[in-house]
Structure 1
Amino acid sequence: MKILRTKKLVLHPVFRGGVATLLVTFVLLPVAAVRAEETATDAPVNSESLPELKTLDGHFPFEVPETLEQWESRAEQLRTRVAMATGLHPMLPRPPIKATIHSVVKRDGFQIEKVYFESLPGHFVTGLLFRPTGDSVARGLNSDGKRPGVLCPHGHGGRMMRNNADKMKQLIESGDEMYMESGSHPKLARCATLARMGCVSFIFDMVGYADSVQLSYEFAHRRHATRPEENVPAGSDPELFFSTPAEARLQSILGLQTYNALRSFDFLASLDEVDPDRLAVTGGSGGGTQTILLDALEPRIAASFPNGMVSTSMQGGCACENACLLRIGTGNVELAALMAPKPMGMTAADDWTIEMMSDGYPELKQLYGMMNHPDHVLCESLVQFKHNYNYVTRRIMYGWMNEHLNLGLETPVVETDFPAITDDEGAVWNDDHPAPTQRGPKHEQTVLGWWNNQSQQLLEDCLGLSATENGFDQTVRPALATLFDLPIPETSSVSVSYSDPIEHDSGATLVSGVVTDEARRREIPIRKWVSQSGDKASSGGTVLWVHSAADETTDTPEWSDAFSAQLRQSKAVIVIDIAAMPTDAPEGKQRTNPQPRRASAAFTYGYNRPLAATRCGDVLAVIAAFQDPPGGVSLVAPEGSAAYALPAAAIAGPFLADATIAVNGFRFADLQHQDDQHFVPGIVKYGDVDALAAWRAPYALTIQDSEEAEWPTTKAIYDARDASDQVQWQVNR
Structure 2
Amino acid sequence: MAIGESKPSRVPARRLTLVALAAWLIILSGGFVSPALAQPAGPPKLKDLNGHFPMTVPETAEAWQARAEALRLQTRVALGLHPMPELADPTPTIYGRESFDGYTIEKLILESLPGHFITASLYRPVGDAAEGTRRPAVMYAHGHWNDGRFYEASPGEVARLIATGAERFENAAINHMQAACVQLARMGIVVVQYDMIGYADSQQISFDRAHRYGINDSDPPTTDDGWPLFTATAEGYGQSIMGLQTINSIQIFEMLRRLPDVDGERVAITGASGGGTQSFIATAVDTRIAGSLPAVMVSTGMQGGCTCENACGLRVATGNIELAALTAPRPLGLTTANDWTIRLPEDGFPELQQVYRMLGRPDAVRLFPGAHFPHNYNHVARTSMYGWMNQLFGLGLTEPVLERDFELVRKDRLTVWDDEHPRPESGVDHERKLTKAWAAQIDAATRPSESDSPEVAEQKRKLVTEGWGSILAWADAYRGMEAGNVKWSGPRAGQVVVASPPVPLTPSDDGIVELHFVDFNSRTIFANSSISVRDPFGGDERDRSPLVSNPRPAAAYTYGYNAPPTVRRLGVLLDALQAARGDRDFRYRLVVGDNEIVLAAAAAVAWPEGISDVVWKAVATADFDPLAEVSSIRDPNFIPNGLRYRGLAGLVSVLDDRLTRVGGGGGLMGTKK
Same fold (TM over 0.5): yes
1:614 matched to which residue of 2?
568
- Does residue 316 (structure 1) correspond to residue 304 (structure 2)? The answer is yes
- Cα distance in 2 between the residues matched to 1:678 and 1:205: 36
- Cα distance in 2 between the residues matched to 1:453 and 1:265: 25
Asked whether the equivalents of residues 542 and 574 of structure 1 are also in contact (C-alpha less than 8 Å), the reply is: no
Which of 711, 714, 717 pairs up with 2:668?
711
1:390 matched to which residue of 2?
378
2:9 matched to which residue of 1?
none
- Cα distance in 2 between the residues matched to 1:535 and 1:77: 36
Which of 349, 356, 360 pairs up with 2:348?
360
Q: CA deviation at 1:464?
A: 11
- 1:277-296 residue pairs with structure 2 within 5 A? 277-296=265-284
Which of 547, 554, 577 pairs up with 1:623?
577
- Does residue 266 (structure 1) correspond to residue 254 (structure 2)? The answer is yes
1:301 matched to which residue of 2?
289
1:280-327 CA distance string (max 9 Å, x none): 111111111100111012222112111111111011111111111111
1:12-39 CA distance string (max 9 Å, x none): xxxxxxxxxxxxxxxxxxxxxxxxxx99
- 1:438-453 residue pairs with structure 2 within 5 A? 438-453=425-440
- Does residue 92 (structure 1) correspond to residue 85 (structure 2)? The answer is yes
Asked whether the equivalents of residues 494 and 518 of structure 1 are also in contact (C-alpha less than 8 Å), the reply is: no
2:18 matched to which residue of 1?
none
Q: 1:536 to 1:321 in 2, by over 3 A?
A: closer
1:483-512 CA distance string (max 9 Å, x none): 111566899652246xxxxxxxxxxxxxxx
Q: 1:471 to 1:538 in 2, by over 3 A?
A: closer
Q: 1:462 to 1:324 in 2, by over 3 A?
A: farther
1:429 matched to which residue of 2?
417
1:670 matched to which residue of 2?
629
**Which structure 2 residue ranges, 5 or more long, are not aligned?**
1-29
- Cα distance in 2 between the residues matched to 1:469 and 1:353: 46
Q: Which has more radius of gyration?
A: 1
- Does residue 202 (structure 1) correspond to residue 192 (structure 2)? The answer is yes
Which of 158, 163, 179 pairs up with 1:173?
163
- Does residue 634 (structure 1) correspond to residue 575 (structure 2)? The answer is no
1:187 matched to which residue of 2?
177
- Does residue 483 (structure 1) correspond to residue 471 (structure 2)? The answer is yes
Q: CA deviation at 1:599?
A: 2.3
Asked whether the equivalents of residues 201 and 416 of structure 2 are also in contact (C-alpha less than 8 Å), the reply is: yes
Asked whether the equivalents of residues 222 and 228 of structure 2 are also in contact (C-alpha less than 8 Å), the reply is: no
Which of 155, 158, 183 pairs up with 2:143?
155
Which of 37, 40, 44 pairs up with 2:36?
44
Q: 1:535 to 1:710 in 2, by over 3 A?
A: closer
Give the partner amino acid of 2:651: L
Q: 1:416 to 1:404 in 2, by over 3 A?
A: same
Give the partner amino acid of 1:115: L
Give the partner amino acid of 1:618: V
Helix, strand or coil: the match of 2:46?
A: coil
Asked whether the equivalents of residues 526 and 575 of structure 1 are also in contact (C-alpha less than 8 Å), the reply is: no
1:164 matched to which residue of 2?
154
Asked whether the equivalents of residues 511 and 586 of structure 2 are also in contact (C-alpha less than 8 Å), the reply is: no
- Does residue 144 (structure 1) correspond to residue 132 (structure 2)? The answer is yes
- 1:325-724 residue pairs with structure 2 within 5 A? 325-436=313-424, 438-460=425-447, 470-472=458-460, 474-486=462-474, 494-496=482-484, 516=487, 518=489, 521=492, 542-546=513-517, 551=519, 554=521, 567=528, 573-578=529-534, 580-583=535-538, 585=540, 587-596=542-551, 598-627=552-581, 629-662=584-617, 664-665=619-620, 666-667=624-625, 668-699=627-658, 701-704=659-662, 706-707=664-665, 709-712=666-669, 714-715=670-671
Asked whether the equivalents of residues 308 and 349 of structure 1 are also in contact (C-alpha less than 8 Å), the reply is: yes
Which of 44, 50, 54 pairs up with 2:47?
54
Helix, strand or coil: the match of 2:578?
A: helix
Q: 1:702 to 1:581 in 2, by over 3 A?
A: farther
- Cα distance in 2 between the residues matched to 1:124 and 1:539: 59
Asked whether the equivalents of residues 99 and 118 of structure 1 are also in contact (C-alpha less than 8 Å), the reply is: yes
Helix, strand or coil: the match of 1:291?
A: helix
Q: 1:526 to 1:114 in 2, by over 3 A?
A: same
Give the partner amino acid of 1:127: A
Give the partner amino acid of 2:65: E
Asked whether the equivalents of residues 104 and 114 of structure 1 are also in contact (C-alpha less than 8 Å), the reply is: yes
1:159-218 CA distance string (max 9 Å, x none): 111112221110011111110123311011111000000000000111111111211111
Helix, strand or coil: the match of 2:314?
A: coil
Asked whether the equivalents of residues 462 and 471 of structure 1 are also in contact (C-alpha less than 8 Å), the reply is: no
1:652-677 CA distance string (max 9 Å, x none): 21322443345543521012211111
Asked whether the equivalents of residues 502 and 579 of structure 2 are also in contact (C-alpha less than 8 Å), the reply is: no
Q: TM-score, normalised by structure 1?
A: 0.80
Asked whether the equivalents of residues 89 and 111 of structure 2 are also in contact (C-alpha less than 8 Å), the reply is: no
Q: CA deviation at 1:277?
A: 1.8
- Cα distance in 2 between the residues matched to 1:166 and 1:581: 54
Give the partner amino acid of 2:440: N
Asked whether the equivalents of residues 241 and 252 of structure 1 are also in contact (C-alpha less than 8 Å), the reply is: yes
Asked whether the equivalents of residues 44 and 537 of structure 2 are also in contact (C-alpha less than 8 Å), the reply is: no
Q: How many residues align?
A: 633
Q: 1:56 to 1:63 in 2, by over 3 A?
A: same
Asked whether the equivalents of residues 661 and 667 of structure 2 are also in contact (C-alpha less than 8 Å), the reply is: no
- Cα distance in 2 between the residues matched to 1:274 and 1:531: 66
- Cα distance in 2 between the residues matched to 1:639 and 1:193: 63
Name the structure, 1 or 2, with higher relative contact order (CA <8 Å, separation 6+). 2
Asked whether the equivalents of residues 33 and 498 of structure 2 are also in contact (C-alpha less than 8 Å), the reply is: no
- Cα distance in 2 between the residues matched to 1:50 and 1:466: 48
Helix, strand or coil: the match of 2:409?
A: coil
- Does residue 117 (structure 1) correspond to residue 110 (structure 2)? The answer is yes
- Cα distance in 2 between the residues matched to 1:626 and 1:412: 64
Helix, strand or coil: the match of 1:442?
A: helix
Q: Could you tell me the percent identity over the aligned residues?
A: 35
1:132 matched to which residue of 2?
125
1:120-161 CA distance string (max 9 Å, x none): 22211111000112xxx46xx465231111110111121111
1:247 matched to which residue of 2?
235
Q: 1:491 to 1:423 in 2, by over 3 A?
A: closer
**Which structure 1 residue ranges, 5 or more long, are not aligned?**
1-37, 498-514, 568-572, 716-726
Give the partner amino acid of 1:334: E
Q: CA deviation at 1:52?
A: 1.2
More off after superposition, 328-337 vs 119-128: 119-128
Q: CA deviation at 1:227?
A: 4.8
Helix, strand or coil: the match of 2:369?
A: strand
- Cα distance in 2 between the residues matched to 1:527 and 1:676: 33
Asked whether the equivalents of residues 296 and 336 of structure 2 are also in contact (C-alpha less than 8 Å), the reply is: yes
1:32 matched to which residue of 2?
none
- Cα distance in 1 between the residues matched to 2:490 and 2:592: 25
- Cα distance in 2 between the residues matched to 1:77 and 1:463: 32
1:582-628 CA distance string (max 9 Å, x none): 426354221211311x2211101100010100111122112212335
Asked whether the equivalents of residues 527 and 575 of structure 1 are also in contact (C-alpha less than 8 Å), the reply is: no
2:214 matched to which residue of 1?
224
Give the partner amino acid of 1:45: L
